Chains A and B, each alone.
Chain A
Amino acid sequence: MARTEQQSNDRFQGRWFWRYASPAAFYPVAGRIEKIGWFLAITLAIIGLYIGFFRAPTDAQQGEVYRVIYIHVPAAWMAMIIYLAMAFWSATGLVLGTRLSFMMSHALAPTGAIMAVIALWTGALWGRPTWGTYWVWDARLTSTLILFFLYVGYMALAASFDDKKKGDRASALIALVGAVNVPIIYFSVNWWNTLHQGSSVRPGSSSMASIMLTAMLIMTFAFWAYCVAAAMHRLRTQIIERESGAQWVKELVK
């Protein structure tokens, strides 16, 4: 083990960022990123919600209910983006064998699942007054639900191995299998939806007032910052837990 580490150090010499593939080196950096993330998330959320709730006009067709999009749409986007990020770090981990990459995937998964749940939940709350029902088998709702299943499967698989290394690589493989299948599932669900029912009311079909769009974009960045901060927090916890035998961790927690 020591020899291979020495070798890889030689190979990547001069590339400073490889240094941060080491959990010990990345731990303080993750802490700084987390702090910036929390600051941005809270600041942007206050600005975004203020514009969205107090400055943006009431929607002509949907009334006040539409304002849930300032939470709903960013959450739905993050649910998808985080799955991609998770698959990316899984692939990186499998190719390079860096254990921090696997930890990054594990840290992202719960946040992604929460985002999917928020998107579904707020969608149901919006659908009740607008569509008259909490749930319709709309293509986008169904796809988000399946995405949630994929997150759950990933986390369940990672948890079912006693050997952490084995669990890392096994769940990374299933994340990649899921990432390959996600476009196919999206396509087939869209196909199925057009087969079985007419297109539902689409909130985005009417052109959006620019102030609404501004608020939504600010909220998207707030969610993004939150997800980064939450993932970094979870990553730090994992580093401490997994490297608990290392000297630097013993000194840190002393």
Chain B
Amino acid sequence: MSLRLAASAVFRREFQLFARRKSDWANPLMFFVIVCSLFPFAVGSETERLRGIGVGVIFVGALLAALLTLPRLFDEDARDGSLDLLLNSNEPLAMLVLARVAALSIGIGAPLILATPLFSLLYALPSDVALVLALAVALAVPTLLLVGAIAAALLVTARGGAILTAVLVLPLTIPTLIFGAGAASKVLYGESPFAELSLQAAYLLFALALSPLAASAALKISTD
């Protein structure tokens, strides 16, 4: 079996799972919706205040929602044995991991990205801010999942995986958080978000190049 076949098989399998088990993508979305709805209760509902925190709340909410899906990457497969098939494949493991992260990015990311403009309205953000924020979330979710794949792979067999994944991954998402939220804030103050978005995209490409290799090394360590 060629690499392309193997990668597309992994990719297709993820989407079949998404189609058949809708909770896989619906639950992160619901989490995102609820987190974003909680903040006005805590800080008050004045328009000015909501506009001030909106970008940050929506962005962090989307990151946390994506973070919660990380155990889905390998945990279940480790239990039902399909991870061993992946590990024993002749094709480079890094590419298969990449195919899986790509599928998860689309399956989890698309609902979050589509929900972002909606919440931008609820937080009284102008529509051009909403658009840039959605774009920033679209760049941030794959970055988080790529970096997170390393931690998820390491913790497949470890104790207390989920919470430790958050501790390991969240500090590493600071660059994409700074640039993504910065881009949307720039638009809010009437400036161009191009520099921040470029840097965010650069960090995504950096993660794209290195994370699959690190994650496949991590899988080999943890399933050794």
Chain A residues within 8 Å of B147, by CB: 177
Does any Cβ of B come within 8 Å of A150's Cβ?
yes
**Given known A157-B164, A184-B203, contact A174–B154 (CB-CB < 8 A):** yes
* Pairwise interchain contact B214-A184, C-beta atoms closer than 8 A: no
* Pairwise interchain contact A150-B171, C-beta atoms closer than 8 A: yes
* Pairwise interchain contact A177-B214, C-beta atoms closer than 8 A: yes
Chain A residues within 8 Å of B214, by CB: 173, 176-177
Does any Cβ of B come within 8 Å of A188's Cβ?
yes
Q: How far is the CB of B55 from chain A (nearest CB, A)?
A: 12
Q: Please give me the 4 A-B residue pairs with the lowest Cβ-Cβ distance, nearest first.
A: A188-B175, A192-B178, A149-B171, A153-B168
* Pairwise interchain contact A184-B154, C-beta atoms closer than 8 A: no
In the bound complex, how far is the Cα of B183 from the Cα of A195, in angstroms? 11
Complex: chain B residue closest to A167, CB-CB: B158
Q: How far is the CB of B217 from chain A (nearest CB, A)?
A: 6
Give residues in A with beta carbon < 8 Å to B. 146, 149-150, 152-153, 156-157, 160-162, 166, 169-170, 173-174, 176-178, 180-181, 184-185, 187-189, 191-192, 195
Complex: chain A residue closest to B185, CB-CB: A195
Complex: chain A residue closest to B179, CB-CB: A188
**Given known A150-B171, A180-B210, A181-B172, contact A173–B158 (CB-CB < 8 A):** no
Number of interface residues of B (CB under 8 A): 31
In the bound complex, how far is the Cα of B222 from the Cα of A206, in angstroms? 51
* Pairwise interchain contact A188-B174, C-beta atoms closer than 8 A: yes
* Pairwise interchain contact B172-A191, C-beta atoms closer than 8 A: no
In the bound complex, how far is the Cα of B159 from the Cα of A161, in angstroms? 7
In the bound complex, how far is the Cα of B203 from the Cα of A162, in angstroms? 34
* Pairwise interchain contact A170-B172, C-beta atoms closer than 8 A: no
* Pairwise interchain contact A160-B158, C-beta atoms closer than 8 A: yes
Q: A149-B170, A157-B154, A169-B221 are in contact. List 7 more A-B contacts (CB 8 A).
A: A153-B164, A156-B167, A161-B158, A170-B221, A173-B218, A184-B175, A191-B199
By secondary structure, the A interface counts as helix
Chain B residues within 8 Å of A188, by CB: 174-175, 178-179, 199
Does any Cβ of A come within 8 Å of B188's Cβ?
no
**Given known A156-B164, A192-B178, contact A185–B155 (CB-CB < 8 A):** no
Interface residues of B in 137-184 (CB under 8 A from A): 147, 150-151, 154-155, 157-160, 164, 167-168, 170-172, 174-175, 178-179, 182
Give residues in B with beta carbon < 8 Å to A. 147, 150-151, 154-155, 157-160, 164, 167-168, 170-172, 174-175, 178-179, 182, 185, 199, 203, 206, 210, 214, 217-218, 221-222, 224
Cross-chain contact of A174 among B150, B160, B185, B224 (Cβ < 8 A): B150
Chain B residues within 8 Å of A146, by CB: 171, 174
In the bound complex, how far is the Cα of B75 from the Cα of A210, in angstroms? 58
In the bound complex, how far is the Cα of B203 from the Cα of A188, in angstroms? 10
* Pairwise interchain contact A192-B182, C-beta atoms closer than 8 A: yes
Q: How far is the CB of A159 from chain B (nearest CB, A)?
A: 9
In the bound complex, how far is the Cα of B28 from the Cα of A250, in angstroms? 54
* Pairwise interchain contact B160-A173, C-beta atoms closer than 8 A: no
* Pairwise interchain contact A166-B174, C-beta atoms closer than 8 A: no
Q: How far is the CB of B218 from chain A (nearest CB, A)?
A: 6
In the bound complex, how far is the Cα of B177 from the Cα of A181, in angstroms? 14
What would be 13 A-B contacts, judged by CB atoms less than 8 Å apart?
A: A157-B155, A162-B159, A166-B222, A170-B154, A173-B150, A173-B217, A174-B151, A174-B168, A185-B171, A185-B175, A188-B179, A188-B199, A191-B182
Chain A residues within 8 Å of B158, by CB: 157, 160-161, 170
* Pairwise interchain contact B178-A160, C-beta atoms closer than 8 A: no
